[in-house]
Structure 1
Amino acid sequence: MLALFSFLTVEVVLIGAVFTVSLLLFFYLTRVVFVAHSAQFDDWGFQQADKLRAFWSWLTPVARFVTFFASFPFLALAGILGPVVLRWRGHKREALEVFLAVLGASLFNQLLKTHYHRSRPSSALVFQPGLSFPSGHAMIGMALYGCLAWLLWRHRRHPVWAGLLVLWAVLIGFTRVYLHVHYPTDVLAGFAAGLLWLILLRTALRLWWREGKELGIEN
């Protein structure tokens, strides 16, 4: 019991720290972009991406391939097919969590984009409709792959695979900068907002399931 209590305390502290850092980062980026109107970090990020493209031109098709895995068609398929497979295999709660991670992040992202209403970079290498802040690929991708990483860590104890999933989400975000379809600040804000949504969702579901268990209701 002592070991379990210690683990839960560390878990809560870590999640709280990630939530706080993500919230502060998102708030800071909104100040940089919409109050200070500073483009210094965005310009620097694009310069680094341009250097990579000039040195390794073969990275462009790779970036287009990687970025697909957080595109709307893929996320729509993963957000529906993934939960169906999980539920079919008897993981009812995990299926609900993945579904809400994708759906909620998508709706939250559109709400934020509409509120901030930032136009996309004019130097985009591929056409991308819609608004820019925060990046949907970065935000929803972090929500999806972060949720899967969390489930792997909690249920299967696969830290390597969980870490790779998070790195994959980060790589997808970087492709948005490489392709100039998002400013670097858009991507960082997307990562932060995705983590915020994921933590809020996980906390709400745990409270709901705990309350249902105490009341004798199967959720």
Structure 2
Amino acid sequence: MKSFAGRLLALFSLLTLEVALVGGMFLLSALLFFYLTRVVFVQHSVAFDAWAFGQMDVLRAAWPGLTTLVYGLTFFASLPFLVGAGVGIPVVLRGRGHKREGLEVFLAVAGAALLNQLLKTHFQRVRPASALIFQQGLSFPSGHAMIGLALYGCLAWLLWRHRRHPIWAALLLLFAMLIGLTRVYLHVHYATDVLAGFAAGLLWLILLRTALLLWWRGKAGSEEARR
């Protein structure tokens, strides 16, 4: 009895810690996104964006060969890649018996893409005039940063949740961050666009994960009640 109570207490403490961490991340992301909207659209400050462009320009001048690598890296959150990954990965997961995980990846990408377009339409920020490559659409928040984080963040979470390859999970998150930096390097997004994209992507992942968890638990409870 004491052993059972001890395990139950340990589980409760773990769940409480997890809820606190996720809740803290959600709050920090929301505050960051709100702060960036104030900086960009209320204060009209360009100091941080100008500084970030300057740092990337110094890096590009010092390592000109890096630009080719950046072009390749930024592709992994481009529209063609995200469409392929957003459909292909769920199909593969479903075929291997991971139906829920496949649905989670699909909703992470599709939901983030839809939310990104809604936010861009609302804020109507024009892209930087100094872009090294032509890009259509609006600028705030960055779609590469937001949808990329949704995709790779979701995959990282699935790897972590199943306790498989935690190092790969960390590398996926790092990869998403690097993709965001390529957008500043290429001047197709301001640094504030990228940070806002990361914040919005994380917010969406947390909301999606919470909603799916509640839905699956409710569904399991209903099935158990029928029995």
TM category (shorter chain) comes to over 0.9
Percent same amino acid among aligned pairs? 72
Q: Which amino acid aligns with 2:59?
A: L
Offset, 1:2 = 2.4
Q: Which amino acid aligns with 2:167?
A: V
Q: When the two structures are aligned, how many residues end up with a matched partner?
A: 217
1:172 is aligned, of 160, 174, 179, to 179
Q: Does residue 96 in structure 1 map to residue 103 in structure 2? A: yes
TM-score where L is the length of structure 2: 0.94
Which residue is 1:137 aligned to?
144
- Deviation string 1:29-87 (CA, Å, 9 cap, x unpaired) is 00000000000000000000000000000110111100000000000000000000000
1:10 is aligned, of 7, 13, 17, to 17
Using the alignment, how far apart are the partners of 1:142 and 1:77 within structure 2? 16
Using the alignment, how far apart are the partners of 2:119 and 2:146 within structure 1? 11
Offset, 1:9 = 1.4
Which residue is 2:59 aligned to?
52
2:73 is aligned, of 36, 58, 66, to 66
SS in 1 for 2:183: helix
Moved over 3 A (4+): none
Offset, 1:4 = 2.0
Offset, 1:119 = 0.3
Using the alignment, how far apart are the partners of 1:59 and 1:88 within structure 2? 38
- Deviation string 1:122-160 (CA, Å, 9 cap, x unpaired) is 000011000000000000000000000000000134321
1:159 is aligned, of 166, 169, 177, to 166
Extract unaligned runs of 5+ from structure 2. 1-7
TM-score where L is the length of structure 1: 0.98
Which residue is 1:148 aligned to?
155
Using the alignment, how far apart are the partners of 1:6 and 1:76 within structure 2? 40
Which residue is 1:86 aligned to?
93
**CA RMSD, Structure 1 to Structure 2 (Å):** 0.8
1:126 is aligned, of 122, 129, 133, to 133
Which residue is 1:209 aligned to?
216
SS in 2 for 1:150: helix
Structure with greater Cα Rg: 2
Using the alignment, how far apart are the partners of 1:41 and 1:154 within structure 2? 36
Which residue is 1:196 aligned to?
203
Q: Does residue 21 in structure 1 map to residue 12 in structure 2? A: no
